[in-house]
Each structure stands twice: as structure tokens, then as C-alpha cells.
């Protein structure tokens, strides 16, 4: 049988893959997108989410034993130290890698929270400040692609606030496509308590206090479209947002937005030109390269029944292969094929934004569990000389009460029913009016702070393969080895000290408690701490300016293989403190220029021979 031929084959129809396919398709290239997961219409996702017992990121997806989505629920502490994971990911590190990802059409962008801050110019030069790596490109080179990504995603933000409060050099007259998401009631309460006041950063030897300011977080969810001057860019932004209603505040952004206000890659897919073809339930198992190392296509396994290992094998040839399968799966695919690793950096440098959570009760009602998971943050610990002493961090103000830190509100109600005594039988605690009042007092005053740390690239944190343990299709499973450096732990300890000062300024009761035995627990200088994963896996096919020290170049092209691109957060040399997907989308758009150039050159060569 003759193998099919396309100009480009894209592996993965998630955030990055959907964008790359769109831009190449619009240039007229014939693109095949191969997606491992199944197609699940949003209405079915909603139904699955409503009936799921644990409302985790993958809870809106139908079960798929062939390509399961890794979840943190798999994590358990091991007797004698360390952690194990029993799902798709195997774990092998000092500390657990606490983030999952989704394998379904649309990828992890189906369940993302939707926060889209840009990285700060300083983040691209992280190596000048601390142990994190600098980028081979700077903010200025990425800036036009940031704008294009913001148009595609329909980002809601206030340009002046981002300029003044975050220090972003946005172009003169720039308008974000959507008006900012209004601050939550909690944001307003916190701002009233903190704005203009200051706290000490204990890790910074300088006595300069850090001034506090609550700042709106850019977000990929529809609000009211902004008013633009009539330009082609404005028309593009309007088109991208046209099919999404304004955010209604229903507070289930993870895992699924019931109204469609939140951007997902399916929004980009809906606008794909006819030159783009999608094939779901198609798991790429091998990248094909010729004798000169050039990528020539892929092999994939097609399955029909998500519960059965039965599948058929297929080959597709293409001038360009773009891996967009997520940081972990991109590395897994290249490791399996023995590709792209002359630097010995492939699979290494696995990063996330380790998150410290603190939580408490405000003196007054905060109106939690409404609107997006976070609408504002505190930016003052992201920048500057303190980076030399501890990991920088961004503080998100969490609108969803204690749900991330402790669990859903059912736990609070159960505790009130037992009057705080878990051994007491249900029914002898509070009930009726007393229960309603206690619930209002307890749940209505909840708030949480989420401290997201920059984690530097550490070659010891890595993805490897276990050839003895394979998935249902017979492919080796990924093994993650993960830990936190002293730099990150120092950042967490500083964040906890900052949190203590914020709680004191707010007059809040601190209920934060980190218990040994829970995944992510560790002690630093005698103090108990615990981190959670942010879902921001990065670094596994790290970008750099030399093939000796990196896997991809600044356009995400694998140094070792002409025609092979690995796109996504896996290329990031460092992650700053911003949620990464906007930057990842900007990088993907930059790569598309180079891929278009590659394809044009290839086409010219084949026409002239
Ligand atoms: C709960 C949660 C909340 C998040 N919130 C935010 C946020 O607020 N802001 C932010 O910036 N980021 C957020 N993120 C991170 C964001 O979702 C990721 O950065 C982004 O989705 C990564 O995009 P990607 O295209 O690289 O991978 P994905 O979106 O994961 O897509 C990869 C796709 O490739 C497919 N695939 C995998 N292997 C194969 C194969 N062998 N063959 C074919 N297809 C394959 C997968 O099925 C999947 O569809 C969040 C993540 C999670 C989990
Ligand atoms: S708050 Fe509700 S409507 Fe708004 S993005 Fe989240 S889930 Fe969608």
C-alpha cells in the first residue's frame, strides 16, 4: 500500500498543534493532524463532568484505556520515602511531579484555567539574575507573536495596567482584544486590605520593602470585545472571538466551561481552512528519518475501541514533521526513536511551576466559588535582584475557596455536621438554621493564595522510558524523575513568610496546614511545606543557541534533524513566573514562519528537479 503524503504532519491536536496546523493551512500547505485521543463534543464533556465524583482536570473526558490522561489522583506516598504513580506516568523521584495533562482532541487546553500573562522581558534573561537559563531570543523578538497569540485566544486585559503595574513594554496604542475580566469581590476585599502597603521579603538581603498592589490577570476568556481602530488585526481579533459568549462566571473553567466563553483549541480548530485534515484516535509511535537524518514522516497506530488494544498501523510521509504532543509526550516520542539527542539534553530539564498554597478565613464575606479560578494577582515578587537569592514567584488570588488546597465544600459541610469531631456520627452536629449560619460563616469567608514559583532547568529532572512497562498499544511508558532545588525551596519558604505577613495585614485567620505523607510535602530548614503541580510541564526538548547544549533552536527546529520541529512548552529554556501557554502560543506562531520558509524552499527544490 502506498503511504499518504502531506506537506506537513502535525502530531497532537492540542494547544500548540491546533495553532500550527491553522497557520500552515492558511498559507495553503496541506496539513494532516494526528491526534491520539478521541473527539468528545463539549456537551458530552459537560455531562461527564456533572456526573464525575472527583472534579479533576480529566473528569470531563470519557475513559480511554488506550491513551489515558495522567491525573494527580494516581499519586501516592511510598513507605520509606518517595512517591509512586500508578497511572500512565511512572514516577521515580525524590518528590512527585504533581501535574497531569489531557490526551483528547483539544489536549490540556480543554481543561486549562485560561490565565494568559506574558512573560516579563527580564524572564528571557533569567540567567543574568539566578540559576535559570536565559533564552536565545528576547522579549522584543517574541512581542509581535504575543500580539498575534492574544488575538487568536481573545485575551481580556487592560493594557495600561499591564504597562504600569507589571512593567510590560506594550506597543503604543495597543488594545487587548477583550475588555478585562472584572475583579472578583474577593479581589476587591484583598485590594482594600493590601494596596499601597508593603511587606518584607525574608530572602532578600536588602531591607527594601515590597509594595503590594492587586493587579488584574490577563485571561483567555471572552468578555466584551474591545473597541479597536479599524485594522486587519482588529478584524482578525473579532473573527477569533465571534463564536464565544461572554464569561458568565459559572466557575467550572477546570475542566470545562459550560458556555464556551473560555478559549480552547477547539475554537481554533473551528476556523481551520479545508487544507487541514484531522484524524483522531491516531497515536504516532515513530518519527521516520532518512539516512541523512532528515524527518520524512511518521508511523501511527489507529484504534477504534478506547477499551481495546486492537489497532492498525499506518505510515504518512511529509516534508515537515511537527511534534506538538505535550512536553512529556514529545520527549517520549523522540526518546523512543533514538532521535534529537546529540546534546544528551532530550527529556531532561523537566520544569513546572511548583505551587505553594496558603488558605484562610477573612474577617468578612468574600463571595468565593464564583467566576474564573483567579482574576487578579500580586506581581511584586516576580522581578529584580531578589531572584539571585530565591526563586521568583507570582501570587494568584484564588476565587475558588479552599477547593484546591483542601477539597470541595462537601468536606466543610461534613465537618459542621460532625461539629468538628470526625468520630461523631452524622446528625448529632449542627443542623437547620445553625448549620446554614455556620456554613455561611465558614464557606463564605474562604480564600486561598497560590504562589507559583519559577523552577530552573535541572538536567536531573527528566523523562525517561521504561521499556519493560508498556501501554496498551505496546509503547514504552514515560518515567518522571523530579525534585525541587534549594533555590525553589528557598523561594517557597520566602513565599510562606510573605503569606504570613499578608494574612496579618488582612486580619485573616490562617488555616494553612501541610501534613507529612501527602504528595509534595517536604521540610525546609525545619518548616513544613508542600507544593502542588500547576500543569505547566516544560523544558524537555529545551531551546538554546547551540546544538551542544540544547535540543531545538530558537524556531523550535530540532538541531539534529532537518524537517523536524518540536513545539510547545517543552522548548522553554526557563519558565519565568507566568502561566506558560500564551508564551508557548507565541513561540508556535514564530515557528510557523520558519516552517513556511522550510516548506517553500523544499517545494522550490522539488519543482526544479
Ligand atoms: C488543570 C490545568 C490548568 C492549566 N491552566 C493554565 C492556565 O491558566 N494558563 C496557562 O498558560 N496554562 C495552563 N495550563 C497548561 C496548558 O494547558 C498547557 O501549557 C498546554 O495545554 C500545552 O499545550 P500542548 O499543545 O503542548 O499540549 P496539549 O495541550 O496537552 O496537547 C497535546 C496533544 O497531543 C496529543 N498527543 C499526545 N501524544 C500523542 C501521540 N503520540 N500521537 C498523537 N497525538 C498525541 C494529546 O492527546 C493532546 O491532544 C493548565 C494545565 C492544566 C492541566
Ligand atoms: S467562569 Fe464560567 S463562564 Fe467564565 S470561563 Fe470559567 S467556566 Fe466559563
Q: What is the pLDDT of residues 500-538, one digit of tens each?
A: 999 999 999 999 999 998 889 999 999 999 999 999 999
> From the CB of 38, is ligand 2 less than 6 Å away?
no
- Cell representation of residue 443: 464557606
Ligand closest to 336 (CA) is: 1
Q: 564-566 and 210-211: which strand pairing? A: unpaired
Are 517 and 129 within 8 A, CB to CB? no
Least confidently predicted of 34-38, 70-74, 402-406, 589-593: 70-74
For residue 603, is pLDDT > 90? Answer: no
> From the CB of 324, is ligand 1 less than 6 Å away?
yes
> From the CB of 326, is ligand 2 less than 6 Å away?
no
Ligand closest to 246 (CA) is: 2
Instruction: Tell me the mean pLDDT in the region 255-278.
Output: 96
Q: In what order do the strands lie in the sheet with 462-470?
A: 90-91, 476-481, 462-470
If you measure from the C-alpha of residue 256 to the centroid of ligand 2, how many angstroms do you get, rounded to a whole number? Answer: 8
Q: Tell me which DSSP letter residue 72 carries.
A: G
CA distance 350 to 533: 12
If you measure from the C-alpha of residue 437 to the centroid of ligand 1, how many angstroms do you get, rounded to a whole number? Answer: 41
Ligand 2 atom closest to residue 260's alpha carbon, by position in its atom list:
8
The whole-angstrom distance between residue 539's C-alpha and the CA centroid of its chain comes to: 13
SS3 270: coil
| Nearest Cα to Cα of residue 301 among 6, 7, 540, 11 | 11
> From the CB of 586, is ligand 1 less than 6 Å away?
no
pLDDT top residue among 318 and 416: 318
Burial (Cβ within 10 Å: 0-12, 13-18, ≥19) of residue 267: buried
Q: Which helix (H) or strand (E) holds 312?
A: strand 312-323
Q: Which helix (H) or strand (E) holds 592?
A: helix 581-608
| Nearest Cα to Cα of residue 456 among 435, 423, 483, 476 | 483
Are 318 and 284 within 8 A, CB to CB? no
Q: Over pLDDT 70: what percentage of the chain? A: 96
For residue 427, is pLDDT > 60? Answer: no
> From the CB of 353, is ligand 1 less than 6 Å away?
no
For residue 295, is pLDDT > 90? Answer: yes
CA distance 541 to 331: 6
Q: What are phi and psi of 481, to 5 degrees?
A: -115, 125
The string of pLDDT tens digits covering residues 99-126 is 999 999 999 999 999 999 999 999 999 9
CA distance 160 to 318: 45
Instruction: Tell me the mean pLDDT in the region 10-35.
Output: 98
CA distance 453 to 413: 32
> From the CB of 334, is ligand 1 less than 6 Å away?
no
The residue to mutate among 71, 100, 286, 326, having the most atoms of ligand 1 within 8 angstroms of its beta carbon, is: 326
Cα separations (Å) of 448 from 5, 116, 220, 354, 510?
Answer: 52, 20, 22, 16, 10
CA distance 525 to 514: 15
> From the CB of 478, is ligand 1 less than 6 Å away?
no
> From the CB of 322, is ligand 1 less than 6 Å away?
no
Ligand closest to 35 (CA) is: 1
| Residue 570 neighbours by CB under 8 Å, 6+ apart | 326, 327, 328, 330, 331, 537, 538, 539, 540, 541, 542
Are 322 and 503 within 8 A, CB to CB? no
> From the CB of 12, is ligand 1 less than 6 Å away?
yes
Ligand 2 atom closest to residue 371's alpha carbon, by position in its atom list:
1
Please tell me the predicted confidence (pLDDT) of residue 422.
61
Q: What angle do CA 405, 410, 411 make, to 5 degrees?
A: 55
205 — pLDDT class (breaks 50, 70, 90)? confident
CA distance 295 to 333: 13
Q: Tell me which DSSP letter residue 246 carries.
A: P
Ligand closest to 46 (CA) is: 2
81 — pLDDT class (breaks 50, 70, 90)? low
> From the CB of 248, is ligand 2 less than 6 Å away?
yes
Ligand closest to 369 (CA) is: 2
Instruction: Tell me the mean pLDDT in the region 210-218.
Output: 97
Q: What angle do CA 257, 368, 429 make, to 5 degrees?
A: 115
Residue closest by Cα to atom 27 of ligand 1 = 326
The string of pLDDT tens digits covering residues 404-424 is 999 888 888 888 888 756 666
Burial (Cβ within 10 Å: 0-12, 13-18, ≥19) of residue 536: buried
CA distance 287 to 295: 7
CA distance 256 to 112: 8
Please tell me the predicted confidence (pLDDT) of residue 4.
95
* pTM for this predicted structure: 0.96
Cis previous bond, 398, omega within 30: no
The residue to mutate among 262, 263, 403, having the most atoms of ligand 2 within 8 angstroms of its beta carbon, is: 262
Q: Tell me which DSSP letter residue 386 carries.
A: G
80 — pLDDT class (breaks 50, 70, 90)? low
Q: Tell me which DSSP letter residue 573 carries.
A: S
CA distance 201 to 316: 55
Ligand 1 atom closest to residue 580's alpha carbon, by position in its atom list:
11
Please tell me the predicted confidence (pLDDT) of residue 421.
60
The whole-angstrom distance between residue 360's C-alpha and the CA centroid of its chain comes to: 26
Residue closest by Cα to atom 2 of ligand 2 = 250
Ligand closest to 476 (CA) is: 1
> From the CB of 114, is ligand 1 less than 6 Å away?
yes
Instruction: Tell me the mean pLDDT in the region 43-63.
Output: 88
Are 325 and 567 within 8 A, CB to CB? no
CA distance 500 to 519: 23
Ligand 2 atom closest to residue 262's alpha carbon, by position in its atom list:
5
- Residues for the chain: how many in total? 609
Amino acid at each position: 500500500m502506498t503511504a499518504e503524503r502531506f506537506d506537513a504532519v502535525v502530531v497532537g491536536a492540542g494547544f500548540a498543534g491546533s495553532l500550527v496546523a491553522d497557520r500552515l493551512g492558511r498559507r495553503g500547505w496541506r496539513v494532516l493532524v494526528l491526534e491520539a485521543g478521541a473527539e468528545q463534543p463539549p456537551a458530552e464533556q459537560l455531562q461527564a463532568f456533572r456526573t464525575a465524583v472527583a472534579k479533576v482536570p480529566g473528569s470531563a473526558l470519557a475513559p480511554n484505556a488506550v491513551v489515558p490522561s495522567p491525573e494527580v489522583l494516581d499519586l501516592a506516598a511510598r513507605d520509606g520515602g518517595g512517591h509512586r504513580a500508578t497511572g500512565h506516568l511512572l514516577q521515580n523521584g525524590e518528590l512527585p511531579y504533581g501535574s497531569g495533562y489531557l490526551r483528547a482532541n483539544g489536549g490540556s487546553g480543554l481543561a486549562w484555567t485560561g490565565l494568559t500573562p506574558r512573560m516579563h522581558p527580564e524572564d528571557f534573561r533569567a540567567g543574568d539574575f539566578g540559576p535559570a537559563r536565559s533564552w536565545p531570543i528576547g522579549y522584543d523578538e517574541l512581542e509581535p507573536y504575543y500580539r498575534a497569540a492574544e488575538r487568536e485566544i481573545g485575551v481580556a486585559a487592560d493594557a495600561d495596567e499591564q504597562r504600569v503595574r507589571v512593567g510590560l513594554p506594550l506597543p503604543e496604542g495597543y488594545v487587548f482584544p477583550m475588555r478585562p475580566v472584572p475583579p472578583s469581590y474577593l479581589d476587591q476585599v484583598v485590594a482594600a486590605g493590601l494596596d499601597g502597603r508593603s511587606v518584607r521579603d525574608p530572602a532578600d538581603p536588602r531591607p527594601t520593602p515590597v509594595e503590594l498592589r492587586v493587579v488584574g490577570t490577563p485571561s483567555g476568556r471572552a468578555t466584551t470585545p474591545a473597541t479597536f481602530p479599524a485594522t486587519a488585526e482588529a478584524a482578525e481579533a473579532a473573527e477569533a472571538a465571534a463564536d464565544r459568549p461572554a464569561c458568565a462566571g459559572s466557575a467550572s473553567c477546570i475542566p470545562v466551561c459550560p458556555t464556551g466563553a473560555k478559549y480552547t483549541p477547539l475554537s481554533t480548530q473551528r476556523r481551520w481552512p479545508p487544507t487541514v485534515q484531522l484524524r483522531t484516535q491516531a497515536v504516532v509511535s515513530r518519527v521516520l528519518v532518512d539516512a541523512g537524518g532528515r524527518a520524512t514522516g511518521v508511523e501511527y497506530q489507529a484504534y477504534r475501541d478506547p477499551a481495546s488494544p486492537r489497532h492498525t498501523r499506518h505510515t504518512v510521509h511529509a516534508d515537515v514533521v511537527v511534534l506538538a504532543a505535550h512536553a512529556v509526550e514529545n520527549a517520549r516520542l523522540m526518546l523512543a526513536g533514538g532521535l534529537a539527542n546529540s546534546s544528551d539534553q532530550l527529556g531532561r530539564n523537566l520544569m513546572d511551576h511548583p505551587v505553594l498554597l496558603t488558605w484562610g478565613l477573612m474577617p468578612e464575606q468574600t463571595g468565593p466559588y464564583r467566576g474564573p479560578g483567579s482574576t487578579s494577582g500580586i506581581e511584586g515578587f516576580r522581578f529584580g535582584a531578589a531572584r539571585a537569592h530565591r526563586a521568583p514567584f507570582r501570587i494568584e488570588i484564588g476565587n475558588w475557596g479552599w477547593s484546591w488546597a483542601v477539597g470541595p465544600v462537601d468536606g466543610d459541610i461534613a465537618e459542621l455536621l460532625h461539629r468538628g469531631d470526625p468520630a461523631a456520627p452524622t446528625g448529632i452536629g449542627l443542623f437547620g438554621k445553625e448549620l446554614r449560619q455556620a456554613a455561611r460563616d465558614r464557606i463564605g469567608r474562604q480564600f486561598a493564595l497560590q504562589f507559583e514559583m519559577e523552577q530552573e532547568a535541572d538536567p536531573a529532572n527528566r523523562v525517561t522510558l521504561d521499556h519493560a512497562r508498556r501501554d496498551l498499544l505496546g509503547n514504552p511508558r514515560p518515567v518522571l524523575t523530579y525534585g525541587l532545588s534549594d533555590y525553589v525551596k528557598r523561594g517557597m519558604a520566602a513565599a510562606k513568610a510573605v503569606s504570613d505577613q499578608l494574612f496579618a495585614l488582612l486580619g485573616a485567620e490562617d488555616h494553612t496546614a501541610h501534613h507529612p505523607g501527602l504528595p509534595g510535602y517536604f521540610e525546609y530548614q525545619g518548616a513544613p511545606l508542600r507544593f502542588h503541580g500547576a500543569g505547566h510541564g516544560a523544558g524537555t526538548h529545551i531551546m538554546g543557541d547551540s546544538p551542544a547544549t540544547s535540543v531545538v533552536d530558537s524556531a523550535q527546529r530540532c538541531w539534529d534533524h532537518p524537517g523536524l520541529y518540536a513545539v510547545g512548552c517543552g522548548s522553554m529554556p526557563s519558565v519565568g513566573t507566568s502561566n506558560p501557554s500564551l508564551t508557548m502560543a507565541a513561540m508556535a506562531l514564530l515557528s510557523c514562519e520558519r516552517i513556511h520558509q522550510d516548506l517553500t524552499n523544499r517545494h522550490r527544490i522539488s519543482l526544479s528537479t
